[in-house]
């Protein structure tokens, strides 16, 4: 009995000792793990090193096997491909469908009648693509109809071009206008300016290396589904009638059609009449007779199209934030294309798919973002940013209250050179990111070094245009935005030649430019999703506004107009931006993790996020109330050289110098000043 108790006592002591060893080992291991587990820098570097050009090339090859115009079966197949890719990575995936009005061609012809009685029917299909499934060249939403008249060259179709034509004695009324793309005007503006002068129809061509290429595009005015202006075009939702004035004003009043440069040359070389202005002639890349017309040849023009309802599909992947799931960082690219879309837009789609792959890899390594990341694949952008606009309109309150930023990439790679556009609070962050990315065209240099050398310093464009899916986010919802491009003005834009073969032969043979854009895009989102304090700096915004004010001051010199309201508001924004930056620096070095400090960070982040919303005005721009941003947005007159303060630019373009016009400009100055004040107040800690 004594022996048994002795053994039992020994056993208890042994187990106690072993238990103590186990507990000590557990806490030692836990402490080691807590101090050695991956950091944000580890995930940052892992994202960079996981890039592969082969993967990007594979995605692009698959996306461009067939033409995929929005609303068609091949376009649905690309949506399913993107969806299945997201799902294969175990990302939370969903699709938002919208029923919208799209436009397709049925028949078109352009026949030239020569004075000697001969006729020539212009080829309107690009050689080699007649049976490829590529849609015939057309202008979406152009009205159907016919026109017969003498052709007349209108240059870019700008106001000053019509003044030059008038000075040469050319009467354009009743003519068929021949217009070359460019000059800062949209297709819609070109057609409507021609219609206002009595032109019967417009033939539009693009000068470039591919003389047989034809640039398709939309001529609709405004963004989004024309039948649901201001609200999401959900299935079984409200739709306006086709004959509603709000719908009819979205479409041009005369017919138009794109033609190739080669076809345009046939017409232009046959013109007689007054000589072309020297400035026009010296800038032209196509052959002409050097004359303006009209005639003596005649053009018989016919276009028949159909507007019909179609379902478009936006595809999303969501990576839910671990600490601030109600704060969204959105990355977006449209998926639909006029033809094969290797550059526009699927170089960007390939980048989006690769970011999804690399983020999924980080998740397997243990990463979860602080804030929610949403990857957005838009549909029907080519028809007027329809997919993204419908989604923004449907989710306006959520986006306005929860969106940190929208990062857009459309044509990710068009050729050499880095061309970013942002709202100014991104300037410092973007510059910092480019120092981490290898330049694709220079051995041993960073993207930052090549970019600054090419531009002789940092050159970041702004987002006044409405040429991609950032427009509804910034101009309507006030979400800070970025738009990234590698290369500019590629020669196969919207033509049947925008194919995988063009990309591997000309655009990016080794896909290293794709790697660079993907790197910048993905790292921007990582910083915005993971930084405890949002990396926004509003001092560059204030500096930009000061520059704009100096330009306006010179433009308005000698007129009874005061810029003091904007000057004072900008000074207030600059002072508040400096205070906010100092506050952010203090909170960054503060390592305390209690609830009070976390709340301070949250409050500061909200102020940084909401400041951009301050630039919105509820009434919107005069004549275009959907566009609400008072600093960046479209001008009613596309010829204005002002790319900022669109309300002021519109008022100036209408002004002839009278007191009434001066008062209109002054009112827009006050509206701009109040917007800047609202942004400054949103940044402030106290009311």
Residues sharing a CB contact under 8 Å with residue 535, sequence separation 6 or more, in sequence order: 428, 429, 527, 528
Hey, CA dihedral for 381, 384, 390, 396, is it positive or negative?
Answer: positive
Backbone angles phi, psi at 676, to 5 degrees: -65, -40
Report d(CA 147, CA 136) in Å as an integer: 20
Between vectors from CA 203 to CA 200 and to CA 209, what angle results, nearest 5°? 165
E-strand spans in 291-417?
Answer: 298-319, 324-334, 371-378, 403-413
192: annotated active-site residue: no
Alpha helices (runs of H) in 124-253, residue ranges in sequence order: 159-167, 187-196, 245-248
Backbone angles phi, psi at 408, to 5 degrees: -105, 140
Is residue 175 helix, strand or coil?
Answer: coil
- Look at phi and psi of residue 249 and say left if phi exceeds 0, alpha if psi is from -120 to 50, else beta: alpha
Q: Is the separation of the CB atoms in 218 and 104 below 8 Å?
A: no
Distance CA 69, CA 78 (A): 10
CB 562 within 8 Å of CB 666: yes
DSSP 425: G
Q: What is the rounded distance in angstroms from the CA atom of residue 493 to the CA atom of residue 73?
A: 23
Q: Burial, 53: exposed, middle or buried (Cβ in 10 Å; 0-12, 13-18, 19+)?
A: middle
Q: Is the peptide bond before 468 cis (omega within 30 degrees of 0)?
A: no
Contact residues for 210 (Cβ-Cβ < 8 A; gap 6+):
491, 492, 495, 497
Alpha-carbon distances, residue 653 vs 166, 510, 549, 665 (angstroms): 21, 47, 17, 10
* Contact status, residue 351 vs residue 409, Cβ threshold 8 Å: yes
Cα separation, 594 vs 211, whole angstroms: 66
From CA 566, how far away is CA 546, in angstroms rounded?
Answer: 9
- What is the Cα gyration radius of the chain? 29
Active-site choice (126, 381, 390, 668):
381
* DSSP track, 211-242: TT----EE--SSSS-TTSTTS---TTS----T
Torsion-angle region of residue 71: left (phi > 0), alpha (psi -120 to 50) or beta? left
- Kind and range of the H or E element at 112? strand 92-113
Say whether 626 sits in a helix, a strand or coil.
coil
Helices 346-364 and 73-88, interaxial angle, to 10°?
20
Q: Which residues are catalytic?
A: 381
């Amino acid at each position: 009995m004594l022996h048994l108790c002795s053994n039992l006592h020994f056993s208890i002591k042994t187990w106690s000792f072993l238990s103590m060893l186990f507990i000590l080992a557990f806490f030692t291991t836990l402490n080691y793990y807590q101090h050695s587990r991956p950091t944000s820098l580890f995930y940052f570097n892992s994202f960079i090193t996981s890039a592969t050009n082969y993967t990007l090339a594979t995605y692009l090859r698959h996306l461009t096997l067939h033409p995929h115009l929005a609303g068609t079966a091949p376009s649905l197949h690309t949506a399913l491909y993107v969806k299945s890719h997201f799902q294969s990575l175990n990302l939370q995936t969903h699709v938002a469908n919208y029923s919208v009005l799209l436009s397709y061609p049925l028949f078109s012809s352009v026949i030239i009648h020569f004075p000697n009685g001969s006729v020539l029917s212009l080829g309107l299909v690009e050689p080699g693509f007649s049976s490829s499934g590529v849609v015939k060249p057309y202008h979406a939403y152009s009205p159907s109809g016919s026109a017969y008249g003498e052709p007349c060259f209108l240059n870019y179709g700008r106001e000053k071009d019509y003044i030059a034509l008038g000075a040469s004695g050319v009467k354009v009324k009743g003519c068929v206008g021949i217009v070359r793309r460019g000059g800062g005007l949209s297709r819609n503006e070109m057609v409507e300016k021609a219609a206002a002068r009595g032109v019967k129809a417009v033939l539009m061509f693009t000068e470039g290396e591919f003389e047989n290429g034809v640039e398709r595009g939309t001529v609709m005015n405004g963004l989004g589904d024309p039948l649901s202006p201001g609200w999401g075009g959900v299935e079984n939702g409200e739709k306006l009638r086709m004959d509603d004035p709000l719908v009819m004003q979205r479409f041009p009043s005369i017919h138009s059609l794109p033609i190739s440069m080669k076809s345009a040359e046939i017409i232009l070389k046959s013109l007689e009449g007054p000589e072309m202005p020297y400035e026009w002639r010296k800038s032209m890349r196509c052959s002409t007779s050097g004359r303006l017309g009209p005639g003596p040849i005649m053009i018989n023009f016919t276009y028949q199209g159909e507007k019909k309802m179609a379902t478009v599909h936006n595809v999303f992947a969501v990576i839910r934030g671990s600490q601030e799931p109600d704060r969204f960082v959105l990355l977006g690219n449209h998926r639909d294309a006029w033809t094969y879309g290797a550059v526009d837009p699927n170089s960007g789609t390939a980048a989006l798919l690769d970011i999804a792959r690399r983020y999924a890899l980080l998740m397997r390594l243990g990463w979860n973002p602080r804030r929610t990341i949403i990857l957005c694949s838009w549909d029907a952008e080519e028809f007027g940013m329809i997919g993204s606009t419908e989604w923004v309109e449907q989710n306006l309150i959520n986006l306005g209250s929860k969106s940190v930023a929208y990062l857009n990439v459309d044509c990710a790679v068009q050729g050499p050179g880095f061309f970013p556009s942002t709202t100014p609070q991104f300037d410092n962050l973007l510059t910092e990111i480019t120092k981490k990315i290898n330049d694709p065209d220079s051995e041993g240099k960073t993207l930052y070094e090549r970019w600054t050398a090419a531009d002789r310093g940092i050159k970041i464009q702004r987002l006044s245009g409405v040429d991609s899916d950032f427009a509804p986010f910034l101009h309507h919802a006030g979400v800070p935005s970025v738009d990234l491009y590698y290369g500019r003005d590629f020669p196969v834009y919207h033509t049947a030649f925008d194919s995988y073969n063009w990309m591997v032969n000309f655009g990016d043979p080794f896909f290293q430019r794709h790697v660079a854009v993907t790197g910048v895009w993905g790292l921007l989102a990582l910083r915005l999703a993971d930084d405890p304090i949002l990396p926004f700096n509003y001092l560059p915004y204030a500096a930009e506004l000061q520059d704009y004010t100096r330009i306006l001051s010179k433009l308005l010199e000698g007129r009874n107009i005061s810029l003091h309201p904007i000057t004072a508001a900008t000074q207030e924004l600059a002072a508040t931006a400096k205070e906010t930056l100092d506050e952010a620096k203090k909170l960054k070095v503060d390592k305390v993790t209690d609830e009070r400090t976390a709340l301070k960070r949250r409050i500061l982040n909200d102020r940084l996020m909401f400041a951009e919303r301050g630039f919105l005005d509820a009434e919107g721009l005069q004549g275009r109330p959907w566009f609400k941003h008072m600093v960046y947005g479209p001008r009613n007159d596309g010829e204005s050289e002002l790319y900022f303060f669109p309300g002021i630019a519109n008022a100036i373009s209408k002004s002839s110098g009278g007191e009434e016009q001066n008062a209109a400009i002054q009112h827009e100055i006050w509206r701009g000043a109040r917007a800047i004040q609202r942004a400054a107040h949103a940044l402030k800690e106290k009311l």
